[in-house]
Amino acid sequence: MSSNNSNEDCLGWAARDPSGVLSPYKFSRRLVGHDDVSLRITHCGVCYADVAWTRNKQGHSKYPLVPGHEIVGIVREVGSNVKQFRVGDHVGVGTYVNSCRECEYCNDGLEVHCMKGAVYTFDGFDVDGTITKGGYSSFIVVHERYCFRIPDNYPSALAAPLLCAGITVYTPMMRHNMNQPGKSLGVIGLGGLGHLAVKFGKAFGLNVTVFSTSISKKEEALILLGADNFVLSSDEQQMMALAKSLDFIINTASGDIPFDPYMSLLKTAGVLVLVGFPSVVKLSPASLILGMKTISGSITGGTKQTQEMLDFCAAHKIFPEVEIIPIQYANEALERLIKKDVKYRFVIDIENSLK
């Protein structure tokens, strides 16, 4: 069914300028097209991208800017051609809402790498020429291809962080065959992404070591998240004790760290994957060449793998650790995120607080 109403008013929270301060904002969403799904948003995860874009860290933010790209909701309307979803279904939307759908990457289900550029869920250019606005809002209209089925019985609030943080670590783990029981994984940084890398690692049967600059994370890493080992990365003795012991390392940290010490922890043919954004990556060529090691980059994932990951999380009962907040707390949440004061992902309860 598709409505013929004029554009519908949507209530959201937006930043008006690079201060990044969010406040209530009314705007219009496009009509539901033949291939579109309209979902009433129930929850939205808070990602560091929300900080970066609201504060114009990239230099191209278009205001007013409504952030949020870890979106979960309930289908309220579908276009006439929509086959996969019905009114009442629980669905998710991630970091992008469109792509060319014709290039080799789109054809392979890797739409995030679209040759013409994926259209981001917020601050991108939508099909109708308007600027995309994200999940800190009451509803959203998205082409069905970029919507994901949230498995039955998987709590909506916990599904939200999977749509960016989860898929961002799951994608390189699958690409580099980290789902081999008995292999060893190092996880640098224990935030929204890092804690999910630990959970996936354990579900894959890996021996997981967490590296952190903060000793306060030790107990939670080992007890709450089930890591096998915790290393204070500033302790040279602890680091050296792990020389040539890891098959894989995922660096989820965006702080500037020396890469050579971590490369020395990899076994021959080991892989270090970078999913965080440090300002520079510096390492000695010998760190790569001796031991034929690999350093690899990755962003979020394609549509096929995102659905696969959601189903995997439901099957293996992998749940992010979240702090649920009302939309009125969004500004404080972003400040706390900057200070890394969150265990381990904020999720906004849109349904019960955005009125």
Span 49-65, pLDDT tens digits: 999 999 999 999 999 99
- What is the pLDDT, as a whole number, of residue 295? 97
Q: Which residues 6+ apart lie within 8 Å of 247 measured at CB?
A: 178, 180, 183, 184, 185, 266, 267, 270, 271
pLDDT, mean of residues 146-165? 97
Distance CA(192)–CA(340), nearest Å, equals 10
Q: Give me the mean pLDDT over the 241-263 stretch.
A: 95
**pLDDT at residue 199, as a whole number:** 98
Q: Averaged over 262-288, what is the pLDDT?
A: 95
pLDDT above 80 (res 31): yes
pLDDT band at residue 6 using 50, 70 and 90 as cut-offs = low
Quick check: 177 pLDDT over 50?
yes
pLDDT at residue 355 tops 90:
no
pTM: 0.95
Q: Angle CA(211)–CA(217)–CA(220) in degrees, nearest 5?
A: 110
Residue 120 pLDDT > 50, yes or no? yes
- Give pLDDT tens digits for 295-352: 999 999 999 999 999 999 999 999 999 999 999 999 999 999 999 999 999 999 999 9
Predicted local confidence at residue 4, as pLDDT: 47
For position 3, what pLDDT does the model report?
A: 45
pLDDT per position as a tens digit, 276-299 = 988 999 999 999 999 999 999 999
The answer, yes or no, to whether residue 98 has pLDDT greater than 50, is yes
pLDDT of the residue at 2: 43
pLDDT band at 230 (very low <50, low <70, confident <90, very high): very high
Summarised one tens digit per residue, pLDDT across range 130-150 is 999 999 999 999 999 999 999
* Length of the chain (residues): 355
pLDDT averaged over the chain?
Answer: 96
